[in-house]
Structure formats: structure tokens, C-alpha cells
Chains A and B, each alone.
Chain A
Amino acid sequence: MKVPMKWLKEYVDINMSAEEYAGKMVMTGTAVEGVEKTGTQFDKVVVGYVVSCVDHPNSDHLHICMVDVGEGEPIQIVCGAPNVHAGMRVAAALDGAHLPGGKIKKGKMRGEVSMGMLCSGPELDVPAGLYPHIGDAGIIEIFEDVKPGTDVKEVFGLGDDIIDFEILANRPDCLSVWGLARESSAVLEEHFVMPEIAVEETGKGTFDDYAKVEVHDETLCPRYCARVITDVKIGPSPMWMRKYLYGAGIRPINNIVDITNFVMLETGHPMHAFDLSKVKDQTIVVRRAKPGEHLTTLDGKEHVLDETMLVIADRENATGLAGIMGGEESEIVDDTASVLFECAAFERANNRVTARKLGIRTESSGRFEKGVCPATAMEALERACMLVNILECGKVVPGCCDNYPNPKPPVEIEASVRRICRRIGVDVPGEAMEDILNRLYIDTTVAGDALHCEIPAFRQDMESEADVSEEVLRMYGYDHIPSTLMNATTMAGQHDAKSVFNYRVKDALVSMGLYEILNYSFVSPRWLDKLGLAGDDPRRNVVKLRNPLGEDTSVMRTTLVPSMLNTVAANLNRGIPEGRLFELSKVFVPAEKPGELPTEKSALCISACGEYVDFYTMKNIVVWLLAKFGVTAAISADGDGYYHPGRKAVMTVDGEKLATLGEIHPDVAEAFDINRRVYVAEVDLDMLMPLEKDFYGVKPLPKFPAVSRDIAVVVDERIGVGTMVDAIRAAAGKLLEDAKLFDIYRGEKLGSERKSVAFAITLRAADRTLTDEEINAVMEKVLKALNTQFGAELRA
């Protein structure tokens, strides 16, 4: 909320700079977003009185004016504005004045001396609306009877500090000048002086002669106050009111509307003014809308309502949304002659729901949904009537409507000094607490340990001792909080098993030279199309956001691959040709039953591309990662369609898929704007974690020598070498220590589609040196197995 400092000073003494004041407010809990000085855009511009104005002899549009600028003799200023005339008050920039457009210097214009310049609104960069006609063509005319020589900033209410308070949700009472002045008075230990409210009722008859109010829903409208003003004269409000409104960020409109806005800012109570002659039967009904009822609001928009919404209506039709926006019909216009002022309290949650449903947010609705205090509504209405008296813009009719059937009883809190001190960790004496709370208008008495607090109506946030403790501490000073160590149960710090596992996965990948990346958890459903997933692919079943920021972030991820491919593409676009990346994050599987939370699964995605990268680079990464957890997986040529059909593999443990890896299919790469080979692996971490074998100890080191034999066999090109190794392992039995591929040879002599594969086979027994017979027997078994399973022949 923006508040001009001068407005606050009307009610509380603030004898310090705006910055110092803001600092004190911040340290006691009233946040300040910033302080803005107004009127810094110009200087040396004063009110001038045009004594005489004649045409310039050498120009068809210039005038020579003698202007009284409060310096004794009038000075001569040449002016080209069409509206300049004798007897007018103007804004005169003197010699040496700085304006937004540059410096003003005395000089000659077509032979005539000019000692300054008469200014228009744009020349001073004074916003239209601050002052009547300021936006019109020509120079500013000042209507107030101000002495020549007065700084125009005073006239325009410039040169003030506007403090932008950020009022938190628990203190709606501070969404008002009075509330802030009251809070400031407690902080600064100064008096808060509210104007004495007295209304002079000069209108004829009484309220009931002019209007009738019926409240049909007292839950949604706990209080409704109204007053009638007759003999209304619509016109501009005075400068003092306009400058405060303007400083607070509200555009002045006319005296009646300005009064409602002024009172809203001053007291925190949104008000509404009806043109009483346009209210049918002069009856105001506060009721719930009928289902499907139509209403056109002030902004010209038509809404369809439902029965949860509270409306202001005449006998037949809704005319306004209660506390949100009025209707077009009863709007205040230039010839409005009688006015009904409404100052009511509407239930905040209902107000909020209605405003959200209809997509309307107004200053008024914003205040009602934060909580407007019913108890002070009448006071605000009286203030408005008092302003009518002051502005002399109408006659207040005696009597009023005040529908307030269930006033909330005052809240009383019994608190303990000792418990408060224990909670805040600061020893504040009971008397100091009493003093602080009384300063905050919380009527408090202390007796030993007992604090008795009577909470004023406007402090709707205060409910318990904990709330009292905060009031005490913030005013006593948060800087008194000591820095202590807990005198509490000793507890063992511990990581959870899952994050320890994740740390190990990440550390393993980092040690292999990979970089961790972070992507959003929500993606575009179109990215699944780019992967070419089938319509019935389970990954198409996604958790959808109801209110996403955009389509690209509208569904929760079921796979990390699309985000990874986007990252790869982005880095290639940046001109970085190499990259090995991984992301460890959650994927989300919708619950089967509606209303339940989705399953969050831990997933890992790895990518690699660059000159030295091929399928086997990626395979090694995955194999080594699994090896870190003591897991070996069977590998077979298989995998999703977004991989290259001849370069993809699935790794399984006991038939369950643990990982998929491969080169991304060129069509998919193209869809993601990737113009080179990129390799990706996906690992199911939820499956990997429980597969880890506990490490019980080491095998004893060998005592007997190993024997190594090499064999080379010729097989069909399509036979997988890995499967051959598996077959060798199975055939060789326990004596096998290792079987390693050491060469693959293809040549004309072997015939086409044939390859020679050479293995080094190491055999060893733990308890003896192997004999030739034993070795030969094993090798025969191996050859036989290779022959029967793969048609392998010993290479000649």
C-alpha cells in the first residue's frame, strides 16, 4: 500500500527522514518495499499571476506577459500557449529552473526579453489527473487562490515521500492510513491523533424517507451501514484530497467518488456510492444471486452468476457484486443529485471465491478478502459524511441504516509472562509487556505472571498467547533475541537411505566425467509426440496441471528423456559440440484411483555426444554405474522406438528391465533439433536401489598359478559377442577366472557375414595347480558349447 508521508503526519508525529522511519517500521514487522520521492523532476517553478498579456509584435502566436512571481515587480515572459490570458494563475519556471526537458535561461524571443517560461503539464511531467485540465493543451491554470511566488510543488502536493508498505496477510488493519498511523505511533512512541468525527446533518427528513435496505444473508454480510446525502453538487475535490489520493495511487474522479476512495484509504473500509435516483424503488437488497442471473458491472462486462455469490440488488435485479464492483446503472454522474453511501462488511472467503470465479480483482475486493473489520464500519461511514460537510458538496440526511445483528464479542487473552519469555527466549519484564501492548491499543493489565489482554476489534489476527508473544517481541526488538544452543534431547543426525543412494549414484557419474543438470518437472505433452510414443504408451498417462503457466509446462514428467534431449540441443546450439550429462529426478505416475497422490519414481537419464562418444561409451557408463552397486545385468538388443533400431539395448536383472540405452533415432533427434549422434541411457533407480548386494568381505587372494589359453572361433556376424562370453562362462564352470574378448577379425577368407572372435580364457583352482588334462577338458567343453549354441568353428 502506497502512502504519502504527509498524510501519515496528519495523524502521528514522524520527526525523522522517510528512510529512517521506513527502517523502524521494517524492524517492527511492517515491511516496506521502497520509498519514492515525488516532484524531483523539476525545481524553481513558482505560482505566477499574469498581470497583463499582449500579442507579440513580431509573431502571430506569441504573447508578451507581465507575470507577478512574488518578487516585487512583475517580470516579462514570452508565452506561445493559446490559453494564456491576463488574470490567470500559472506555473512559471524562473531563470535557471531545471525542467524534465532541460534548463530554462532568460533570453530574447523575436526581440522581446523573456525571463522564464510558463509551463504546461507535460513540460513539468505532472501526470494528468493530479490536477484538473493538466492534460489539456496549453499551459496549466491554477485555480486555487495561492500567493504568487509559492512553489508549485506545494500546490500539486509534490515533494513528498511516498512509502510503499507491504502489508502481510495477518494485518489487514494496516491497509489504511489510520491503521499505519496507529502502528507508527506504537513504534515511535508518539501519539496517534484521530480526527474527531462529527457530522452536521442538514438534509431534510430522515434516512427512511429516502431509502430502504434489506439484508437477506447476514452470514455473508455481517454489517451493512448506509447514509443518504441530498443536494449533491458534483465537482472536482480540493487539491489536498486529490494529492493524497494521487500519492496513494488512486486517480481522482469527482468529489463524491473521491470521498469514498479517500475514506477507504484512510480507514481501510471500501465504500460504495449509489446515485439514489437510479436505485429502483430506492430499495437496496443484499442477497445471494439467483442461479444463472446476469449482471453487467461498471467496467461494462457481463457476468453470469450463481447462488454462492452475494449481490446488491433492487427489488428485481442484481445491480452490483457485493464488495467487488458496482453496477452501471447507479453510477455517480455529473448531474447526480442524491447519493447513498454504503459502508459494509462482507465475508472474506466468499468474497474471494466470487472474485476469483468471475476473474475480477478490485481494490475493494482485495481488501474484503483480506478481512475488513465490521466493528469500525460505521465510523468510516461517518467520516465520509463529515467529508461531505467539509467539501460542502451535499447535505447529510439525519439518520442512517446500520444492520449489524451479531456484533462479535471482544476477544480477551489470558497470557503468562513466564511462558512468553520462555517462548521468545528473551526476558521481558511483565511491566514492559504491559507497556508495549497498551501502546498497540491492546488494553492490558499485568498482575504478577498473569497478563490480561483485551484485543481491540481491528486486530482480528490476535487469538492466542503465541500472538501476544509476537507483539511483545517485535516491539521489544528482535535484536534482543539471544543466540543460544538448544537445551534439548541429544539426537543422532542421519541421512535418509534414499538420499545416500542418490549421492552415490551421482558421485559415480561425476567421477566418470558427467555433469549434472536440472530441468523442470513439468513438460509439454507435445514432447512425448516428438519421442513418437504410441497412443497407448503408459508414459502418455500423465498428471496434468489445472493451471499451468503454459503448454510447455503443463504435465508432470513420466520420462526424463525429452528434457534431456532439449538440453542437448540447447548446448549444441550454443556451439558446444561435446557433452556428457545426467539428470536424477522424479517421474510421476498418476494414481489409479482419482483423489489419490501420483506415484513418484526416482529416475536417471544420461546423455553423451561428441567426437569420442559411441554406443560403447554409454554402455560402459551404465555398466560401471551398476558395478558400483554390485549389480550385473543381462543385455539384449531391444528398447523403445525412439532409439536407433540397430543401436539400442535393454539391461535386465531376473527378466526385469533395469535400464535402456542406445543412440537416439535420427528422426527423433531431428524432431528435437539435434543434428548429430547422441546417446542416451535411462536407469530405473527405484529398481536399482534394492538390488545392491551387501558387501560382506573379500575373497582370499590366490595361492596357485593361473593358466591362460586363447581360442579363436569363427561365427556368423549376427552372433553377439556378449552372449558368447556368457556361454563360455556357463560352460567353463568354477575353474574359470575370466574370459575376455581380445580380437574380432573379418576378412575375405572367412566368407561374408562371418567373423573370427578371439577370447583369452583364464583358469585357476583355489587349491592346486591345474593339470593339462583338466585344462584341456575345460577348453573342450567351451568349444563344444560355442559350437552347439552358435555354430562356432575353431579358426584354422
Chain B
Amino acid sequence: MEKMLREIRERVMRNIEEAEASGSLEQIRVAALGKKGELTALLRGMGKLPPEERPKMGQMVNEVRAALESRLEERAKALAEREKAARLAAETIDVTLPGPDRSAGSLHPMNIALRKMVEVFVGMGYQVVEGPEVEFDHYNFELLNIPKNHPARDAQDTFYVDDNIVLRTHTSPVQARIMTTRKPPIRVICPGRVYRADEADATHSPVFHQMEGLVIDENITMGDLKGTLDEFARQMFGEGIRTRFRPSFFPFTEPSAEVDLTCANCRGEGCRMCKGTGWIEVLGAGMVNPKVLEMCGIDSTKYSGFAFGMGVERMTLLKYNIPNLRYLYENDLRFLTQYR
């Protein structure tokens, strides 16, 4: 019997070593250790042994059983690991394959730039207001000190709907609307579409966008205007970008200024983009003309203010180094998909 036991142990151990799948291990376990298994049968057959041999034999059988079980378990673990590894290996995919077609989507670059511009001023305490694109001559021109048949109207080729209604040529009429309806202090920006009768080319578009700013309060100075625009320039284009003011003329501001920014391309060194000057003209600004304040019903002896108007397309071109204004209105997906 002992010999039989040894024989079973060796054979089953060998079978375990030779088993190549978890399934066959289970068969081996059932055949040896199951209810009808060899070892179980051997244990049952122990009744035939003399009683004094039984404990010794029982112990031996149990030892063999434990050894087989532990070996089975080890082997099962090893096989499972192997099978998992094989499965994972089989599941390897080509990670360099492109995913299913799905575009990233993006805002139009003009609106990306405009949002940034708006954020800068909202952060400085400005309220965003909007006004109509088809506007009364009264707000677009007259309240801004540009009477009918004034040569200053030449600077803005105007689309007319009728004698008194125009497509607004700038966002400044929103200023006039605010000044006639609100009491100071006023601190607003007015972004929006504007129209001029210019044929489209690399630097002109009959439809474009502006963002107007207006501050009316006590003791507002031209230095505050410069401080505000300096801060805008820094946030929009980065540290080291400054403004330069040049005298100019707008009927609704006095004094007026054309404002240049340090050329972001060469940081003021002079390059082709800024024609060697180190500066890029970006916006018009000035102290609100007291005549305009009075026309809008604001006491010009108590309040002063500044206003500025910037071209959003111009900012976009500068910010993203776009060579031609036409790119913005051609809606070429090869262009738009670059802004994700």
C-alpha cells in the first residue's frame, strides 16, 4: 500500500508538471483527490488494514494529499499567470493607428482674441454692454460731435439704410447710448460688429469688429488712460509690451491719441512686421470731449473720462501672427483647424 501511495504521488506529481492548461489540472485534481479519486479510494481501502497501521497510513495519505494540493495550487497559479500573459499579448493593438474621425472643434480665432480682450477689462472692473449694429445716425455720428456733412465723416465710409439710419461705423455709438442713459460712474466695454464701405483686401474688410471702452468718473486723467492700456497690452501680449501715444484727432475725444504697442514680434528692436519702427499702431483713444459729455447730459465740469476703440481683427492678426485679414473671413477649414 505504501508502494501504491508512492506510485500515485509520483505519477500525479508528474501529471501536474506536464499539465499545460488550467482545465487539465482540474481533471488531474478530480482523478486524484476528488470524491472518486485514487487517493480517496486508497483512504477508503484503509479499513482493510490492521488497526495499528491505520494511523500511520492515514497520516501518510494526508501528507501526500497536502503535497499534491499545494503543488496543484502552485501549478494552477503559474498556468493562470501564463494564460493571462498570453491573453494580454494577444490583445496588443497598434497604438499609432489614428482614432476614429472626430475633430477637435474651436472658436473662430477672432473670437478667441476677443474673449481674451474682454476678460482683461472685466478683470479691471468693466461691464460688457452691447448695442445695435444698424444704428441711428444720431448715435453713430451726431452725439459724437460729427455733425452731418462734417469732413470727419470721410474717414469712415458709411453704409446707409436711409437718411437717418446707418450700419454703425464704429462701436462708439454704444458709448453715446450709455452716456445718455446711465449716470456716472461709468466703466464699460462695448464689443461688436462694425461696417465700413471698404473693399476687402489684406488690411481692410467691410465687416469687422471693434471693442470700445469708456470710463466716466471724477478726476479721470489721460495718465489713467495710458495706465489702463499699458495693463491691457501686458495681459494681452505679455511682459515687456508697452504703449506709445501719438497725437491724433477724433471728434469725440480731446486730446486724442493713436496708440502703438511694442512690436510683439521683435520686442521693439525693429523688424519687417513693424517696418523697422519697433511699434505697431493698434488703436485710437483719448479724453472724452467735454462737448460730447454735455450733449449726452453729463456735467463736464464735474466728470471727465476716457474712451478707446480697438480693432479686434487687428489684435487677432497680431496675436496669432496672421499675415492677411482676409484669412479671417474666408472660413477655410485648413486655417480654422489650427486653433484647437
Give chain A residues whose Cβ lies under 8 Å from the Cβ of B287: 423-424, 466, 469
> In the complex, which of the residues B102, B127, B185, B223 contacts A496, with contact meaning CB atoms closer than 8 Å?
B127
Residue of A nearest to B330 (CB): A570
Known contacts A171-B249, A553-B206, A349 near B105 by CB under 8 Å: no
Provide the B188-202 mask, 1 if CB < 8 A to any CB of A, else 0: 000101010101000
Verify A521–B195 contact, CB threshold 8 A: yes
CB-defined contacts of A509 to chain B, threshold 8 Å:
105
Q: Does A422 contact B (CB under 8 A)?
A: yes
Tell me, rounded to whole Å, the shortest Cβ–Cβ distance linking B237 to chain A.
16
Interface residues of B in 14-68 (CB under 8 A from A): none
- From A197-205, A244-252, A265-273, A576-584, give the one contacting chain B: A576-584
Instruction: Considering the complex, give the chain A residue whose CB is closest to the CB of B162.
Output: A546
Select one of A371, A481, A494, A516 contacting B106, CB under 8 A: A516
Please state if B122 and A352 are interface contacts (CB–CB under 8 Å): no
A473 touches B221 (CB 8 A): no
B133 within 8 A of A: yes
Q: Is B143 an interface residue (CB 8 A)?
A: no
Q: A691 vs B158: C-alpha distance in the bound complex, in angstroms?
A: 38
B151 on the interface (CB 8 Å rule)?
yes
Residues in A neighbouring B247, C-beta threshold 8 A: 27-29, 470, 473-474, 478
Please name the residue on chain B nearest to A494 by beta carbon.
B127
A193 within 8 A of B: no
**A574 lies within 8 A of chain B by Cβ:** yes
CA distance A169 to B215 in the complex (A): 25
Contacting pair B122 A549 (CB below 8 A) = no
Give the number of residue pairs across the A-B interface with Cβ within 8 Å: 264
Q: B9 interface residue, CB < 8 Å from A?
A: no
- Chain A residues with CB under 8 Å of B221's CB are 422-425, 484
Residues of A within 8 A of B160 (CB): 545-547
Would you give the shortest CB distance from A707 to chain B, in whole angstroms?
Answer: 35
The answer for the CA separation of A176 and B224 in the assembled complex, in Å, is: 36
**How many A residues, CB 8 Å from partner?**
95
Q: CB within 8 A of B245: which of A348, A370, A479?
A: A479
Stretch of B75-83, B251-259, B263-271 at the chain-chain interface: B251-259
Please, which residue of chain B has its CB at the minimum distance from the CB of A371? B151
Interface string of B127-171 (1 = CB under 8 A from A): 111101111100000000001111110110001111011010000
Given contacts A484-B224, A488-B218, contact A547 B230 (CB under 8 A): no
Q: Taking the complex as formed, is B115 at the interface, i.e. its CB lies under 8 A from any CB of chain A?
A: yes
With A169-B152, A546-B162: A491-B222 Cβ-Cβ less than 8 Å: no
Separation of A353 and B110 alpha carbons in the complex (Å): 38
Asked if B98 is an interface residue, CB under 8 A from chain A, the answer is: no
Q: Confirm or deny: A788 has a beta carbon within 8 angstroms of a beta carbon on chain B.
A: no
Is B125 at the interface (CB under 8 A from chain A)?
Answer: yes
| B244 beta carbon closer than 8 Å to chain A | yes
Residue of chain B at shortest CB distance from A595: B164
**1/0 per residue B222-258: CB within 8 Å of A?**
1111111010000000000000111111010011110
Q: Which residue of the partner chain A has the closest CB to B255?
A: A470
Residue of B nearest to A350 (CB): B149
B329 within 8 A of A: yes
In the complex, chain B residues 168-224 whose Cβ is within 8 Å of any chain A Cβ: 185, 187, 191, 193, 195, 197, 199, 206-207, 215, 217-224
Residue A518 at the chain B interface, CB threshold 8 Å: yes
How far is it, in angstroms, between the C-alpha of A610 and the C-alpha of B101 when the chains are bound? 10
Is B331 engaged at the interface, CB distance under 8 Å to the other chain?
yes
B225 to chain A, nearest CB (A): 8
In the complex, the chain B residue whose C-beta lies closest to that of A566 is B331
Is there an interface contact between B254 and A467, defined as CB atoms closer than 8 Å?
yes
A426 close to B223 (CB less than 8 A)? yes
Distance between A143 CB and nearest chain B CB, rounded to angstroms = 42
| Inter-chain contact A425/B222, CB cutoff 8 Å | yes
Q: Is the CB of B155 within 8 A of A169?
A: yes
Q: Which residues of B contact A580 (CB under 8 A)?
A: 103, 105
Tell yes or no: B85 within 8 A of A by CB: no
> B105-123, CB under 8 A of A: which get 1 and which 0?
1111011000100100111
Q: Tell me if A15 is interfacial: C-beta within 8 Å of chain B.
A: no
Q: Is A486 an interface residue (CB 8 A)?
A: yes
Q: Which residues of A have CB within 8 Å of B147? A: 349
B101 touches A578 (CB 8 A): yes
CA distance A547 to B161 in the complex (A): 8
B246: A residues at CB distance < 8 A: 26-27, 29, 478
Report the 10 A-B pairs with minimum CB-CB distance, sorted nearest first. A425-B223, A29-B247, A425-B221, A470-B255, A349-B149, A474-B247, A493-B122, A484-B223, A168-B249, A466-B254
11 contacts between A and B (CB under 8 A): A27-B247, A29-B246, A350-B149, A423-B222, A481-B245, A483-B230, A498-B130, A506-B107, A516-B336, A521-B207, A545-B160
**Chain B residues near A (Cβ < 8 Å):** 100-108, 110-111, 115, 118, 121-130, 132-136, 147-152, 154-155, 159-162, 164-165, 167, 185, 187, 191, 193, 195, 197, 199, 206-207, 215, 217-228, 230, 244-249, 251, 254-257, 287, 289-291, 304, 328-334, 336-337
**Known interface pairs A169-B151, A464-B254; 20 further A-B residue pairs with C-beta atoms within 8 A, sorted by A's residue number:** A31-B248, A169-B249, A349-B147, A349-B148, A371-B151, A424-B222, A425-B225, A426-B222, A470-B247, A484-B223, A486-B220, A488-B218, A488-B220, A499-B130, A518-B329, A522-B159, A579-B333, A581-B333, A586-B133, A600-B134
